[in-house]
Structures are given as structure tokens and as C-alpha cells.
Amino acid sequence: MLKVLFAPLQGYTTGIYRRAHAEIFGGVDAYYAPFLRIENGLPREKDLRDLECAGVAERNRTDYKVIPQIIANCVQEFKTLAEAVLQKGFTEIDFNMGCPFPMQVNRHRGAGLLINVQAVQEIMDEIKRMSGSATNANGTAPVKFSVKMRLGQNSPDEAFALLPILNDTPLAHITIHPRLGKQQYKGAIDFNSFEKFYNECKHPLVYNGDITSVSQICEMERKYPKLAALMIGRGLLAHPNLAAEYKALGCKDFLGKILQMHQIIFEDACKKFQGDSQILSHIQSFWEYLEPNIPKKIFKKIKKAGKLSEYSEAVKELS
Ligand SMILES: Cc1cc2nc3c(=O)[nH]c(=O)nc-3n(C[C@H](O)[C@H](O)[C@H](O)COP(=O)(O)O)c2cc1C
């Protein structure tokens, strides 16, 4: 059976979401947190705070596993961010070389880093150094790194130019989303290039992209027996029961469970944020990928609610 990893999605798979999903649906082997980035020369506080939920640092959770992710355009940024994450006690870090958002790509981060062979080499050298010597804040566990990447920003040649460097770096795994940065999240997945990468990559490989059903998971398992795991994002946001169903953990009363999960998110958001608009902006995103499961009229009311009272009335109509 393949491992299922929950992909990071900024604004969706927040700490609050991860905790609620693990409690109500589960079936996920690890949750990847959205990337931590540099803002005004320092690790962004808001991202660091998100690695704590309901006052509990996610590294200390025993009920589910969270792996933080960092995004950087040079080895200096990489070191600053990795150190901030290690300070929080984490022992595994994922490095983003796939984000296609112009804000990041134009700053040579995410998919924008893939053409910069020199910077990637320097970062991989740092990973080699840290994997051998760095430990987490408690000084106990050695640090593991993984990479999440695309085939390239403009051409799949970019990933294949980097592969010898990546193969020579001690990585726990590579996650590949077989699209180009310029495609963002649309357009065809390039399975030919994926298969070439699958054959040439020396690390455990994780596939990511457009998985939305148990039958697709089983098909990937059959077709690519060397895969270490699948990473699923939008498919899990739309079907939070997907991983549990694949693992035959079962899920009766889908809507009931959605409402239970929502209740946890709602209560945590009310504790963490202040004022209707801050709370609403956090919890309204919960419904976005669930739209096909919800009556249109109620979905509209939920999305349009400007006050917490209107929002709660709309959610009540679902039960
Ligand atoms: C709104 C949005 C935010 C995302 N944020 C991140 C992120 O912080 N880090 C990351 O590695 N990928 C991010 N992704 C990409 C997803 O992790 C995933 O690779 C992508 O959605 C494709 O997988 P899927 O088809 O299973 O959703 C984001 C995608 C979207 C649509």
C-alpha cells in the first residue's frame, strides 16, 4: 500500500486545518506545511506561528506528523530558514523548487530556482553538510531533507540538468509534480518526462498531481511499483475522506464528518483570530474545494457571508 502525503497549499492546509483533518478523517501518513519564506530579511513570523496549533507545537504531536517546508533563492536564505525550523524542534525539512506563483518565480524561488544550477548546487552542498552534522533544537535527532519540484519553469530539460546534483545529495525523497512552472496548475501532466525521471532518480520518488480518486491511487500503485508515496492536494481538499478510503479505514456519513471537521476549525479559528473578517477569511477557504458536495445556494451564502452570524446561519442549513 502506498503512503499518502497531504500536499501543502498556502491558505488552505493551515495548522488548524491539518489538526482537524487528522482528527476526523485521517489516513494521511504526513502533512506537509505550506512554505516558510523570508520577509524583510527574516523568517516570516506568520508562517512560523502556523507550525503551532492550539498552543501545541506540531513537532510534539504524536497523533499525526507534520513536515515543514521552506522556499529560498540562495544558500543564505536556505540556511536562515532551515535554522528557524530546526529551532522549532523539527528534524525533517522539505525544500520547495516548484512553486509557480509569479511573486516567487520572479524572485528566483520555487520553479524559478530550477534554471539556476549554481544556486541549487550550493543549497544541495549545504544539505550535505547539515545532514551530516546538524541536529534539531534538542540536539538529539539528525536532520533529513526532501525536495518538492516541477520538471522545470519553461522546459523539462531543467529537471534533468539538475538530476545528477540531486542524485548526489542525501535526500529522504523527491516529490515531483510533472508540470512546468509556466503551466501553473493547469494543462496536461507530462507523463513521458515523469517516467524518465522515475527511471533516472536514485532517491525514493513521490508522485504529485491531479489525483482525485481511490481508483487513480490504485492505478498509480500498479503502474509505478517503485513509487514511495503519493502526495495529494486538491483531491484531498475536495474529498477529505480520500486517504482513509484508500486505506479502507472507511468513512460513513461524509457530510456529518465534514461538519465535525468544520466545527473544530471554526472553534480553533475563533480562538486564534480576532474580529469577524479575520476569522471568516480563515474558515471560508475550508469550503472552496468542497463546492461540488454542497447545495449551490448554501455554498453561495457561506462564501458571501460578511458577518460571523450570517456565516453560522448558512452552515447550519447544511445539517
Ligand atoms: C493555492 C495553492 C497553494 C499552494 N501552496 C503550496 C506551498 O506552499 N508549497 C508547495 O510545495 N506547493 C504548494 N502548492 C502546490 C500543491 O502542493 C500541489 O503540488 C498542487 O496542488 C498539485 O497537486 P494536486 O493536483 O494534488 O493538488 C499550492 C497549490 C495551490 C493551488
- CB proximity list for 18: less than 8 A, separation 6 or greater: 6, 31, 33, 53, 58, 64, 66
Residue 252 has a pLDDT of 79
Distance 98 CA to ligand 1 centre (A): 9
Task: Please indicate, yes or no, whether residues 201 and 297 belong to a single structural domain of this protein.
Answer: no
- Concatenating the DSSP letter of every residue in 156-221 gives THHHHHHHHHHHTS--S-EEEEEEEGGGTT-S---HHHHHHHHHH--S-EEEES---SHHHHHHHH
Q: How many residues does the chain have?
A: 319
CB of 288 closer than 6 angstroms to any ligand 1 atom: no
For the chain, 319 residues long, give each residue's pLDDT as a single digit of tens.
999 999 999 999 999 999 999 999 999 999 999 999 999 999 999 999 998 754 556 666 778 899 999 999 999 999 999 999 999 889 999 999 999 999 999 999 999 999 999 999 999 999 999 987 766 666 666 899 999 999 999 999 999 999 999 999 999 999 999 999 999 999 999 999 999 999 999 999 999 999 999 999 999 999 999 999 999 999 999 999 999 999 987 667 899 999 999 999 999 999 999 999 999 999 999 999 999 989 999 999 999 999 999 999 999 999 8
Task: Please indicate, yes or no, whether residues 227 and 277 belong to a single structural domain of this protein.
Answer: no
Residue 55 has a pLDDT of 53
- CB proximity list for 217: less than 8 A, separation 6 or greater: 2, 4, 211, 230, 242, 246
CA dihedral 311, 313, 315, 318 (to 10 degrees): -160
Nearest protein CA to atom 4 of ligand 1, as residue: 9
Task: Please indicate, yes or no, whether residues 159 and 66 belong to a single structural domain of this protein.
Answer: yes
Task: Please indicate, yes or no, whether residues 223 and 293 belong to a single structural domain of this protein.
Answer: no
Distance 299 CA to ligand 1 centre (A): 23
Last residue of a domain, one of 246, 272, 292: 246
The phi and psi torsions of 42 (rounded to 5 degrees) equal -130, 160
Last residue of a domain, one of 204, 223, 246: 246
Helix axes 191-200, 157-167, angle to 10 degrees: 20
Q: Which ligand 1 atom minimizes the distance to the CA of 212?
A: 26
Last residue of a domain, one of 200, 221, 246: 246
CB of 181 closer than 6 angstroms to any ligand 1 atom: no
Task: Please indicate, yes or no, whether residues 143 and 265 belong to a single structural domain of this protein.
Answer: no
Bridge partners for 56 per DSSP: 53
Residue span of the structural domain in which 271 resides: 254-316
Give the number of other Cβ atoms within 10 Å of residue 300's Cβ: 13
**In this predicted model, what pLDDT tens digit does every residue of 158-177 receive, in sequence order?**
999 999 999 999 999 999 99
CB of 209 closer than 6 angstroms to any ligand 1 atom: yes
Task: Please indicate, yes or no, whether residues 91 and 119 belong to a single structural domain of this protein.
Answer: yes
Task: Please indicate, yes or no, whether residues 46 and 147 belong to a single structural domain of this protein.
Answer: yes
User: For the chain, what is the domain count?
Assistant: 2
Task: Please indicate, yes or no, whether residues 190 and 114 belong to a single structural domain of this protein.
Answer: yes
**In this predicted model, what pLDDT tens digit does every residue of 204-258 receive, in sequence order?**
999 999 999 999 999 999 999 999 999 999 999 999 999 999 998 766 789 999 9
Distance 8 CA to ligand 1 centre (A): 6
CB of 208 closer than 6 angstroms to any ligand 1 atom: yes
- Is the whole model's pTM more than 0.85, yes or no? yes
Residue 57 has a pLDDT of 64
Helix axes 276-283, 308-316, angle to 10 degrees: 40
Q: How far apart are CA 286 and CA 80, in angstroms?
A: 31
Residue 26 has a pLDDT of 95
Rounded to 5°, angle at Cα 215 from 209 and 221: 70
Task: Please indicate, yes or no, whether residues 173 and 274 belong to a single structural domain of this protein.
Answer: no
Task: Please indicate, yes or no, whether residues 99 and 202 belong to a single structural domain of this protein.
Answer: yes
Rg (CA), the chain: 20
CB of 217 closer than 6 angstroms to any ligand 1 atom: no
Task: Please indicate, yes or no, whether residues 198 and 273 belong to a single structural domain of this protein.
Answer: no
Residue 220 belongs to domain with CATH number = 3.20.20.70
CA 136 to chain centre: 21
Task: Please indicate, yes or no, whether residues 186 and 137 belong to a single structural domain of this protein.
Answer: yes
